[in-house]
Amino acid sequence: MRGIEGAVKFLEGAKPESLDDPIANLDDQLRKISEQQFMMATFTLGTNETPSSRNLSDLHPQMQARCLALFAAYEEKYPAASKPFLTQTYRNPADQDTDFAKVPKVTNARAGESLHNYYPALAFDVAFKKADGGLDWDPGLFDHLGCLAPSVDLNWGGSWHSFHDKPHFQPANGNVMYSWENARDGVEPVWTQEAGAPSMVNAPSMVNEPIVNNGVDHGNPAAI
Ligand SMILES: [Zn+2]
């Protein structure tokens, strides 16, 4: 349920006393629904009918909040640096298998073995854009952004021991690695910060910007 439609459904099912002045209560009702969506958001293995995406809205709501908080924290700390933007949120199973088959190898994950393959997605990848719109693959940018991940309840692929996946972010899960098997089994990540916490609001609108294809091989292993 979303927006007004959700509010109407909520009001239809509400107790009579809350209907004394539905208009006055509307904001509260909408807020409750929004909170319920955060609490009840579930995910499942995605299908090929859903196109792969780099839209924020295709992330799990908890991950949306953390992504925005991450970008906001980066903007606050490095206001003059190249800006991060999303390159992948949901990746459907067919595209995952296409990536798996690539030579040279770009990923060890088959369909279902990546947190990107669940919907809404439990992982996102980023790249950086210079002020002139060109892509910026300076590894230091990824390091700067990645170091902020724990402060917004995220785990950064660049911090992994076995394989460094610098563009990749996923749930911190209380500092216990959250696996695709967890996602497959429907185990919700541990969210140790409230999605609406002060550090997670007032994010700038720097997501969903177009990727500038300037022929640069971005080197993103698109790994996990
Ligand atoms: Zn990734």
For residue 73, is pLDDT > 90?
yes
**Mean pLDDT computed over 52-65:** 93
Residue 215 maps to a domain: no
What pLDDT does 54 receive?
95
Residue 194 maps to a domain: yes
Tens of pLDDT, residue by residue over 114-164, are 999 999 999 999 999 999 999 999 999 999 999 999 999 999 999 998 888
Query: What is the whole-number distance in angstroms between the Cα of residue 130 and the centre of ligand 1?
Result: 21
Amino acid code (one letter) for 146:
G
Return the bridge partners of 84, or none.
128
Query: What is the whole-number distance in angstroms between the Cα of residue 126 and the centre of ligand 1?
Result: 8
Instruction: Write out the residue range of the structural domain in which residue 38 sits.
Output: 3-200
In eight-state DSSP terms, residue 64 is H
The percentage of residues in the chain with a pLDDT greater than 90, rounded to a whole number, is 61
Query: What is the whole-number distance in angstroms between the Cα of residue 4 and the centre of ligand 1?
Result: 34
In residues, how long is the chain?
224
Stated as kind and residue range, the H or E segment containing 155 is strand 154-156
Tens of pLDDT, residue by residue over 84-115, are 999 999 999 999 999 999 998 888 899 999 99
Whose tokens are 């660049």? That residue is 158
The structure's pTM equals: 0.75
Query: What is the whole-number distance in angstroms between the Cα of residue 139 and the centre of ligand 1?
Result: 16
What CATH code is carried by the domain that includes residue 183?
3.30.1380.10
Query: What is the whole-number distance in angstroms between the Cα of residue 73 and the centre of ligand 1?
Result: 20
- Asked if 117 and 111 count as a contact pair (C-beta separation under 8 A), the reply is yes
Residue 210 maps to a domain: no
Residue 37 maps to a domain: yes
What confidence tier does 200 reach under pLDDT thresholds 50, 70, 90? low
Residue 79 maps to a domain: yes
**d(Cα 126, Cα 101) in Å, to the nearest integer?**
22
What pLDDT does 217 receive?
36
> Given phi > 0 = left and psi -120 to 50 = alpha, else beta, which region is 49?
alpha
Residue 222 maps to a domain: no
